[in-house]
Amino acid sequence: MHGVFRISVSPHPSGVNEPLSQSGMPKVSVCIPTYNRARYLTYAVNSVLAQTYTDFELIVCDDASTDNTPEVVAQWDDPRIRYIRHPQNIRRSPNMRSGYEAATGDYFIKFDDDDALCREFLEKTVAVLETRPDIDFVCTNHWIIDANSRRDERTTQENAARWGKDKIPEGKIADLTLQTFHHQSLQIGSTLFRLEALRAVDFMRTFPPEADGCEDFDLLVRLALAGKQGYYIPEYLMEYRIHGGQQTRPEQNLRFLNAKVICLDSYRFDDAELEQLRRQKLAGTQEALGLRYIETGDATRGRALLKQAIAVGGGSKKARLGLGLSYLPSSVRKLAFQLFRRVRSPDYSERVRQQTAS
C-alpha cells in the first residue's frame, strides 16, 4: 500500500511549455526514488523542473523516509509532480518499481535522489527517440559532483576513462552486451528509455532481499540480451554525486557485492567467450566480497568465497593474502586491513569524498 499525492497546480516557472502528447498524457515520466535524502532532494527535483523540455511528469517515490522529505516535497506547487509515500520501508527495488508502475509517459528515466539532470538532458534524449524508432534507449555521459554540488572536471574525466565512456562514439551502440556486461560503461541515471522496452524485459524483476542493490546493472544486461538497441550521446548531460553517505564503509559495501554475486550467478551465456567472461567476473566479485567479509569479522564465509574465486581464476595476490589473514586472530586481521587502507592511494571517488570533508 502506498499513497499517491499530486502537488497542487501552478504555472511552470519558466513560462515555457511543450504541448502534451496526443493522448493527453505527458511524453516523459521522470522517477526519483528517495529515502532519507532530504538534503539533496531539492537539488534533484529542481534539475527536472529546470529542463528545457517540459512535457513530463515527475514521480517522487518516498520509501517511508524518517527525515523531513514530505516537507521538502511540499515546497513545490507544480501539477507535474506526483508524490508517492510508502507508509513503511519496502526496500530500494520495490520503491523504484512503484514509480515505474505509476508512470504514464511514453519515455521513462529513473535517477537517484542525490543526482541531477542537466538542463538539456530531456530535450536531447527525447529528440533521438522521436526520430529513431529503432532505438530503445538513449544514454549520455555525466559529470561528477561533490556533496556541495560542485562539478569536478578532473574526476569526471577519470570516471569517463575508467568505464570507457570516452571511447564510445555518438550513435547506435555497436556491441551492447559487451558495453553493459563487461565494460559496464552505461548508467541508468543518465538514460532515457522507451517505456515499452522496459515492459518487455520486466523493468525491476523480483529479486530476493539479499540481491537488492544490483537492479541497474541487471536491467541493462537484460536489455542487451533481449536484443534492444541503445544510442549514446557523449555530452555531459547528467550529474552523478559522490559523497560520504554512499557505500564507502566495508559493511555498506557488503550488500552491493552480495547482490552483484547473485546477479552474475543468475546469467548463462550461449557464447563461450562471454560465458568465460561471466565466470571470471563472478570470481572477481566473490574475491572482493570474501575480503570484505574477512575484514568485517566473518572469516569463515570470507574464506569460502576466496576459495571459490581462486578455483575459477587462480586468485590474485590480494585473494591469497586475504585467505592467509582469515586464519589469524580477528585483532590481527583488523590491523592488517587498516594498514592496507592507509598505504594505498585513494581512488578518484574517495578523493572527492575526502576533499568535501576537509
Check: CB of residue 92 under 8 Å from CB of residue 212: yes
Per-residue model confidence (pLDDT) at position 214 = 83
Give percent of the chain above pLDDT 90.
Answer: 65
Q: What is the pLDDT of residue 11?
A: 30
Work out whether the CA dihedral 153, 119, 13, 9 comes out positive or negative: negative
Taking the C-alpha atoms of residue 358 and residue 349, their distance in angstroms, rounded to an integer, is 15
End-to-end CA separation in angstroms for the chain:
43
Phi and psi at 165, nearest 5°, equal -65, -30
CA distances from 76 to 16, 29, 46 (A): 17, 18, 9
133 in helix, strand or coil? Answer: coil
Q: What DSSP string runs through 250-262?
A: HHHHHHHHHHHHH
pLDDT of residue 9: 27
> What radius of gyration, in Å, describes the C-alpha atoms of the chain?
21
pLDDT along the chain (358 residues), means of 10: 38 37 82 97 98 98 97 96 96 90 97 97 98 98 96 95 95 94 94 97 73 83 95 98 66 82 89 91 93 91 93 81 90 85 69 58
What is the rounded CA–CA span in Å between residue 6 and residue 234?
A: 35
C-alpha cell at 112: 537517484
Question: What pLDDT is recorded for position 12?
Answer: 32
CA–CA separation, 25 vs 18, rounded Å? 12
Cα 79 to Cα 7: distance, rounded to the nearest angstrom: 6
Q: Check if the beta carbon of residue 157 is closer than 8 Å to that of residue 137.
A: no
Q: What is the pLDDT of residues 33-81, one digit of tens each?
A: 999 999 999 999 999 999 999 999 999 999 999 999 999 999 999 999 9
Q: Report the interhelical angle of 272-295 vs 330-343 (nearest 10°).
A: 110
Contact 55, 21 (CB under 8 A): yes
- CA-CA distance, 225 to 146, in Å (whole number)? 34
Please enumerate in sequence order all residues whose Cβ is within 8 A of that of 313, keeping only pairs 6 or more positions apart, or say none.
279, 280, 283, 284
C-alpha count within 13 angstroms, C-beta hemisphere, residue 137: 28
pLDDT recorded at residue 23: 59
- Nearest partner of 46 among 297, 239, 287, 328, judged by Cα: 239
Give yes or no for a contact between 320 and 310, defined as CB atoms under 8 angstroms apart: yes
172, containing H or E segment: strand 171-172
3-state secondary structure of 328: coil
**8 Å CB contact between 264 and 221:** no
According to the model, what pLDDT value does residue 126 have? Answer: 98
